[in-house]
Structure 1
């Protein structure tokens, strides 16, 4: 069985003391491919180095997370484009809308997103989207992100043109994303005891529309809550997906891996 972690932050300092051992454990667990998310200018070169250290196993998404928008200027777009042109690049991202943290106004965040999206068409790459609702009523990041993507004109040759990573929205959000050609990213939160609503939404979306991810070092599955996450937990997430959909682990692995390749291409 081949598993793919479509969203990891393995260059996070949480892994600095033992990164080679962590990587060995990931591959030993059957997770043969990982997409490293380099979502701040200071992370772009780190992503390239990680991919170079694990050719054929690690690919990268390059972009600017909304949290880093205040330190990003349009003059840096050519540098981002240069990273997007590299062989290790499989996507733009992660980029999007975050109302949980102080990531700027709605208009500022949409402008940051809009400045990056043309790179998808330029390099024929999908986008990894971040959406996190705020603490106050009306701070709906999914609604604002998806409304803005109604005007996004990138059309890839593959099935998916992007992914709503770490999906935590409603069925209405999921349906809108699917209508826009986006996959849904499923991670450790899918396994949490009381997350019945998310499981119901993902089952409605269908196994054919999801990809697996960890968002490590954050959001470990239920068995490891409170601990550092890493891609070796992907089989546990896949097992819960298989149980919820009533399929074998092998079928869940095969389908979600195929979906990952429909999103990013073979890497």
Structure 2
């Protein structure tokens, strides 16, 4: 069985796909993807996202504000109140993106710190987005004791030194379909070195569809292609890779276990 540790089901353009959300989830289940974590990118959109997936026990939700979706200052009390909700299993996604929005570095850093502190208060793991902000991401995680909450660097595309720094803090590393792209040699070299007991797999759907689905709208069913690529790269069976990454997911996100009724 597989788990998609990071997807955005609320951002799927279902009309273009010609599918309902139920059909998307059924397709994943047919591929033995037993659970999906639908990740928040906006506090303003959180309620609608949570409502959209509320009838599916195979889907859990996080709460947070993506660094590229910040419309202003993240209000820590609002974030705390939402993250205290029982259905919220993680805090984020949050983090730093200096590639697309270097002009908002300070605002991103302030919001990231708020997410770290809330994660510690509610004892829920962080989901961290990081791009072109290696030193600041690790520095803020360390200085604000993020290891007390734990978490994952999702859709990882940085170097092994950054991965090792996160691993040393007890964090997990999640790999998306990017590792199947032709120009992702450096990332594949990182994946070869990652400890299997800290590895997660994800789609980040509807974005970044893996080969052989490149160019299509990504969806949780395609996480099996990510798993297959990693198992081939690491020289282990697909069954072993699936079992390990699924166990890792539930270890990091223990609140998801209560949802496994199907």
| TM-score of the aligned structures, taking structure 2 as reference length | 0.91
| Pairwise CA distance, 1:87 | 2.3
Partner of residue 134, structure 2: 142
SS at match of 1:247: coil
Partner of residue 81, structure 2: 82
SS at match of 2:143: coil
Partner of residue 52, structure 1: 54
SS at match of 1:220: coil
Q: 238, 251, 255: which is aligned to 2:244?
A: 255
Partner of residue 233, structure 2: 244
| Pairwise CA distance, 1:166 | 0.4
Residues in 2 aligned to 1:69 and 1:236: alpha-carbon distance in whole angstroms: 32
2:27 is the alignment partner of 1:25: yes
Partner of residue 113, structure 1: 112
Partner of residue 165, structure 2: 176
| Pairwise CA distance, 1:266 | 4.8
Residues in 2 aligned to 1:49 and 1:25: alpha-carbon distance in whole angstroms: 21
| Pairwise CA distance, 1:214 | 0.5
Structure 1 gaps of 5+ residues are: 134-140
| Pairwise CA distance, 1:26 | 1.3
1:75-97 deviation digits (Å, cap 9, x = unpaired): xx333223212222111000000
Residues in 2 aligned to 1:232 and 1:61: alpha-carbon distance in whole angstroms: 20
Residues in 2 aligned to 1:113 and 1:245: alpha-carbon distance in whole angstroms: 33
| Pairwise CA distance, 1:115 | 1.6
Partner of residue 228, structure 1: 217
Partner of residue 183, structure 2: 194
Partner of residue 138, structure 1: none
| Pairwise CA distance, 1:131 | 0.6
SS at match of 1:35: strand
1:130-167 deviation digits (Å, cap 9, x = unpaired): 0112xxxxxxx1221111111122455xxx81101000
Structure 2 gaps of 5+ residues are: 257-262
Partner of residue 137, structure 1: none
CA distance 1:194–1:155, shift in 2 (3 Å)? closer
Question: How many pairs were matched up?
Answer: 253
CA distance 1:266–1:85, shift in 2 (3 Å)? closer
Residues in 2 aligned to 1:98 and 1:84: alpha-carbon distance in whole angstroms: 22
1:49-99 deviation digits (Å, cap 9, x = unpaired): 1342112x111110011112233442xx33322321222211100000011
1:159-202 deviation digits (Å, cap 9, x = unpaired): x8110100000111111111111111101011122312111111
Q: What stretches of structure 1 move > 6 A for 4+ residues in a row?
A: none
Partner of residue 152, structure 1: 144
Q: 27, 39, 42: which is aligned to 2:41?
A: 39
Contact 2:5 2:200 in 1 (8 A): yes
Partner of residue 136, structure 1: none
Residues in 1 aligned to 2:85 and 2:74: alpha-carbon distance in whole angstroms: 21
**Stretch deviating more after TM superposition (116-125 or 96-105):** 96-105
| Pairwise CA distance, 1:127 | 0.1
